Every structure is written in C-alpha cells, then in structure tokens.
C-alpha cells in the first residue's frame, strides 16, 4: 500500500479564485463575497476542494490529452460514464452513479484514489481580504455601483494519491468498491438469457469487456487490474499536471498564476499524509515554515517511509525569497532527522518524484 503525498503552496497576490457569489443578506445585494470558513476566532479564505479537482482535471485534458469522461444527467443527478478503463479521470478521480436503467440497478461507485484538501489561505481574512468598490458605466444612464472582495494571500493544499488503487477496479458489493457492472447484475429469463429491456446494460458490460481485452487487463476473482505501463502513465501524469495547474475564477480581472510555487512530495507506505498540517503558518502577519516540526514528524513516521525514498522540495526562488525562507536550511534540518532530501525547482522536484513513483510499478 503506497501513497504519493504532497503539499503545495499557491501564491495569490491579488486574486478571487473561487467566489461565494452575491451576498443576499446585505441590503444592496451587490457585494460578491469570497468563500471563507472559521477556525478558532479567525476566518480564512479558501478554494473549494471540488474547484481544485476541476482545475486538475482540466489541466490533464489540456496538457496530457486525457479524454475526460462525459457527463450525463438522470433526474437530479449528474454523473460520469463510470468507465475507468476508457476514461483515466474516472480511474483517478473516482465516481458515483446511483440509479436504475430499464428497471436494472446500475449503481457503481469508486472511491477516488486521489484525495485533496481545499486550498486554504494561510493568512486570515482580516490580513488578506479587501473590497473593490466599482461602477458599471458602459451603458447609458447613471453608473451602477457594485463591490467585490478579493484577497492577497498564499494558499496551502495537500493531496494523497493511492498508487495501488489506480488502474485496479474491484467488484465487491460495498459502497465505493463496486466499480464495475457484471453479468450478475443483469436479470435473466427462464433460459438464462438477459431479459428484454436490459439491452443498454448488456451493451455496457460488453463494451467494458471489449476494452479490457484490447488493453490486456488482468481479470481476477474480485478485481480487474490494468497493465503496469498504463497505471504508471496515469499516476505520473496526474502528478506532473501539478506543474501546469490552470484554472480559477476572475482571471480576466485579477490574472493569477495558480501553478504551485513551493511543493513538498513524499511517498509513504500508509494511508496518511505527514505534510498536511501545521508546517506553514502565519505569525504576526508573516508566513513561516516550521522545518523542525516536519523533521520530527518524519522521524516519528520513519517506519512507513519506503527505503530509499526522498522528501522532494521544489521551490520558486522569487517566492521563497519574498517569504524570507532559506530552503538549504530547511533541507539540512530534515537531513538531520535521517531523511534523504532532494531540492530543486518545482518542475525538477516533480519530475524526480515521478521517477520514484515509476519505479514502484517496476
């Protein structure tokens, strides 16, 4: 059981990447608010986890030519094709399709191998959010006043990608683990043939089997496993997409580069993420990095860090200089805890980390 874990920092010097919308509670109803949540006595802007996942999917489509799973609507539900053999995003991002088709229960669900947090502002709203008072005046008549919040902050996000689950599809009658339909799901007549009205379901199963045969999928008792090369490609491209992350709202007015300016990457043999919390924090308006806390945490978890695995630190020189961080000092602190460290640009760290992941698949 191995997980590729990571922590990213995204610099948002003047941004409104994921807005809440118009605040209907205000009398003039013309203020567009940023999303915030409360922790302790402070409020923090954030980008929702689904927005980050949307950016991630879009980047994979744009830069790695992933054919994204189409969306369908049934009653009040929207779901994807739920075909992880054909669509890599169904494989990596998971899915839930729960309804009946022609009287047949075609519910399939897949726990997402890729898990991610929201992107959370390190600075609280009182230190990062401001309001732009504007006027719409391109029409005849009096200008119309409006207000919109935006922020200047650094967002922190973390993720974990289950390397064993990618390209591996279970057929277990349990929520999240019945990834594919099988012939057992098709009602039969007295002769053992599929009943009338089940043609769509039968065709879906036949199509899935055809693709499996074409790709060389190994069929086991309760799971199907794709060839290592396909699994390796999907995982490494999902990680490499971070380098080219694209997305965010209000780009025409605020134009923010959402590619990470600082990353920590580490493989662990456990379903945990040692990089997820309390390493980067705000202190008197400044953004700090606690290298000692990270070193102690990794030392404490050394038994789940694979032999030969490194902590990859990728950074943008201008970004860390603006924060007053010394990456060499951070790396030396980690090394003293007995953890190997790689330092380089964000792109170099991601590329080297991807090589370590590739080696896992042989």
Cα separation, 225 vs 23, in Å, equals 48
Q: What is the DSSP string of 161-189?
A: EETTTTTEEEB-SSTTTB-S--GGGS-B-
Cα–Cα dist 119/255, whole Å: 18
Q: Token pair 């007549």 is at which residue?
A: 189
Q: How far apart are CA 205 and CA 180, in angstroms?
A: 8
Strand ranges inside 16-97, DSSP E: 19-22, 31-34, 36-39, 42-47, 71-74, 77-80, 95-97
pLDDT of residue 355: 97
pLDDT of residue 101: 77
**Tell me, what's the pLDDT at 305?**
97
Using left for φ > 0, alpha for ψ between -120 and 50, and beta otherwise, residue 195 falls in beta
CA distances in angstroms from 149 to 15, 198, 244, listed in the order given:
9, 52, 27
Q: Which residues pair with 106 in a beta bridge?
A: none
pLDDT score for 167: 98
Sign of CA dihedral 319, 325, 326, 328: negative
Tell me if residue 102 falls in helix, strand or coil: coil
pLDDT single digits (tens) 131-160: 988 877 778 887 777 789 999 999 999 999
Contact 151, 12 (CB under 8 A): yes
Distance of alpha carbon 46 from alpha carbon 155, whole angstroms = 7
Helices vs. strands in the chain: H and E counts, helices first: 10, 23
C-alpha to C-alpha distance for 39 and 278, rounded to whole angstroms: 13
**pLDDT computed for residue 266 by the predictor:** 98
Axis crossing angle, helix 49-64 with helix 228-240, rounded to the nearest 10 = 110
pLDDT for position 138: 77
pLDDT at residue number 113: 98
pLDDT of residue 46: 98
Beta bridge partners of 101: 104
Separation of alpha carbons 328 and 316, rounded Å? 13
Question: 144-162 and 3-15 as β-strands: parallel, antiparallel, unpaired?
Answer: antiparallel
pLDDT at 144: 79
pLDDT at 19: 92
* 73 vs 263: CA distance, rounded Å: 37
Question: Rounded to whole angstroms, how far apart are CA atoms 4 and 359?
Answer: 13
What's the pLDDT at 132?
87
Tell me, what's the pLDDT at 25?
A: 77
Residues of the chain with pLDDT under 50: none
């Amino acid at each position: 059981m191995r997980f590729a874990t990571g922590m990213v920092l995204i610099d948002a010097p003047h941004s409104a990447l994921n807005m809440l919308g118009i605040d209907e509670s205000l009398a003039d109803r013309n203020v567009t608010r940023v999303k915030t949540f409360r922790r302790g006595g402070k409020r923090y802007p954030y980008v929702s986890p689904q927005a980050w996942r949307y950016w991630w999917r879009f980047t994979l489509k744009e830069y790695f030519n992933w054919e994204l799973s189409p969306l369908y609507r049934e009653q009040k539900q929207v779901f994807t094709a739920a075909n992880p053999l054909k669509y890599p995003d169904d494989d990596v991002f998971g899915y839930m399709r729960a309804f009946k088709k022609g009287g047949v229960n075609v519910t399939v669900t897949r726990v997402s191998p890729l898990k991610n947090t929201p992107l959370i502002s390190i600075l609280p709203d009182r230190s990062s959010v401001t309001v732009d008072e504007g006027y719409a005046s391109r029409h005849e008549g009096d200008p119309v006043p409006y207000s919109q919040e935006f922020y200047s902050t650094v967002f922190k996000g973390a993720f974990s990608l289950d390397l064993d689950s990618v390209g591996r599809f279970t057929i277990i009658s349990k929520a999240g683990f019945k990834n594919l339909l099988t012939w057992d799901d098709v009602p039969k007549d007295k002769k053992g043939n599929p009943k009338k009205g089940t043609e769509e379901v039968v065709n879906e199963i036949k199509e899935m089997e055809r693709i499996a045969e074409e790709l060389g999928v190994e069929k086991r008792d309760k799971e199907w496993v794709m060839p290592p090369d396909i699994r390796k490609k999907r995982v490494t491209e999902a990680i490499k997409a971070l380098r080219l992350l694209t997305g965010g709202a209000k780009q025409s007015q605020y134009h923010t580069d959402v590619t990470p300016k600082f990353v920590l990457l580490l493989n662990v043999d456990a379903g945990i993420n040692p990089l997820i919390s309390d390493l980067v924090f705000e202190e008197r308006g400044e953004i700090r990095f606690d290298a000692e806390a990270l070193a102690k945490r990794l030392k404490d978890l050394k038994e789940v860090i694979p032999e030969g695995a490194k902590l990859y630190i990728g950074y943008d020189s201008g970004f860390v200089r603006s924060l007053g961080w010394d990456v060499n000092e951070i790396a030396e602190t980690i090394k003293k805890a007995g953890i190997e460290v790689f330092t380089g640009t964000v792109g170099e760290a991601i590329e080297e980390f991807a090589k370590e992941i590739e080696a896992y698949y042989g």
